[in-house]
Copies of this chain bind each other. A is one copy, B any other.
Amino acid sequence: MKVLSLLKHWRFSPPQILALGFGIVIIVGTLLLKLPFSTTAPITWINALFTATSATTVTGLVVLDTGADFTLFGQIIIMILIQIGGLGLMTFAIITVLILGKRIGLRERLLIQEALNQHSIGGVVKLVKILFIFSVLIELIAAIFLSFRWVPEYGWGYGIFTSVFHSISAFNNAGFSLWSDSLSQYVGDPVINLLITVLFIIGGIGFTVVYDVMTTKKFRQFSLHTKIMLLGTVIINVVAMLVIFALEHSNPLTLGALSTGEQLWASYFQAVTPRTAGFNTIEIGDMNPGTIVFTLLLMFIGAGSASTGSGVKLTTFIIILLAVFTYLRGKQEPVIFKRRINNDVVHRSLAIVVISLIIVFVTILLLSTSENAPFIYIVFEAFSAFGTVGLSMGLTDELTFFGKQVIIILMFIGRIGPLTLAFALAKSAKPSISYPKGDVFTG
């Protein structure tokens, strides 16, 4: 409790600390990537900044070819930035939620307690340790399995490095690849498909869910958050796979040329990667326009809370749909898994979605005036940067100087979280006066 009151006397609020921390990592990363021995040929400052931001925010949008334009040193820097960005935010989320608790009332503390079974300071330290050990262990195991596949193909040195790089990039939902066509050459490879997607799904579902599943035996005993995330992830991935298979299986540029087995793997991969891993095994720009529009939605929804992914978050999306459905049924509060969802959670979800839509809308408006590119390229790039997804129809390396700046800011906001940013900017309310009720026609 002494630590709590101590932390409360810091001059910065948690969102400001988070933004500051990310800012410092990005600046150091930019300086390191600008070093002559980081790249095979000199790069501009804006491209160094763009790459450092993309890595730290685990986005994966690239203005340079990670495999060809960066030296081994440069690639290691990128890998470290990804690890700091991915693990760092998860750690920060847990610490903030558990200790600093700005706007965290009794209700939220009980929620944390339920989710993590931890609420003392000692518990937090233990929890962060578990998070680190778990993450590194997962990455290590996956790297070893990937090595089985890639050492025979590329030899010991590059085979092991590329396994470690892609393992870290996948678990942290970074989407950076050492190959310019991402994982397209492994479109039908079951081992690569399975290892990479399991990594980014575990990383993206959120640590509280992983911890809950590890420490609780039965589904019925899981926290409400865990139940929603598990069921929601299964449903959205199955639906997405079916939609993508239906829209692409006859497209000669994507699935049309593949065998049925490869078609299923590719549909699965493109269904799970937009929330918000960012690897791809088929060319995004070759997909059916309908599939591209559907992918926009998946990128906007994003991953789980306190995870290596971004977006508005799957729970936010589910709560919003549930609230609308509840309103239509004439009920007061949404009910899911026999639990009532408080109005405050609904309003928080509403705030997240509206602020996110405003941010993406303004980005699209700005890029529409500055970039000379098809509208769908711009829309796709904006959703991808906001969700820190990293998929692109090919606009990224053709962005103007202004366009790169906009995308850099958007990746930063997307990772910090639009609501966090909004809280950081909002002034706290004055003591409130109680006004009489008023009413308005809507719709």
Contacts and interface: CB of A to CB of B under 8 A. Distances in A.
Interface in A215-260: 224-225, 228, 247
Contact of A439 (B224, B328, B427): B224
Interface stretch (A131-139, A274-282, A351-359): A351-359
A2 interface: no
Interface in A282-309: 288-290, 292-294, 297, 304-306
Nearest to A318: B440
Nearest to A115: B441
A375 B292 CA distance: 11
A151 interface: no
Q: Which residue, A108, A327, A350, A436, has most C-beta atoms of chain B within 10 A?
A: A327
Nearest to A348: B442
Contact of A440 (B319, B321, B354): B319
B224 A315 contact: no
Contact of A338 (B342, B348, B435): B435
A240 to B, nearest CB: 13
Contacts of A426: 328-329
A306 B443 CA distance: 9
Contacts of A290: 365-366, 368-369
Nearest to A310: B443
Contact of A320 (B293, B336, B340, B354): B354
Given A364-B293, A365-B294, A345 B114 contact: no
B441 A306 contact: yes
A59 interface: no
Chain A interface, DSSP helix/strand/loop, else mixed: helix
Interface in A354-407: 354-355, 361, 364-366, 368-369, 374-376, 379
A225 to B, nearest CB: 5
B364 A331 contact: no
A72 interface: no
Contacts of A439: 107-108, 110-111, 114, 224-225, 339, 341-342, 345
A108 B438 CA distance: 11
Contact of A437 (B297, B304, B342): B342
A85 interface: no
Total copies of this chain within the assembly: 2
B228 A355 contact: no
Contacts of A288: 368-369
A187 interface: no
Contacts of A312: 443
Interface in A419-443: 419-420, 422-423, 426-429, 432, 434-443
Contact of A324 (B319, B330, B355, B376): B355
A349 interface: yes
Contacts of A341: 437-440
Contact of A340 (B293, B345, B369, B437): B437
Contacts of A60: none
A346 interface: yes
Contacts of A429: 329-331
Contacts of A369: 247, 288-290
Given A290-B369, A350-B323, A435-B340, A441 B111 contact: yes
Contact of A348 (B228, B327, B435): B327
19 contacts: A111-B440, A111-B441, A224-B438, A304-B441, A324-B355, A327-B350, A328-B423, A329-B427, A337-B438, A338-B436, A339-B436, A341-B437, A341-B438, A342-B437, A345-B439, A345-B442, A348-B442, A352-B443, A420-B443
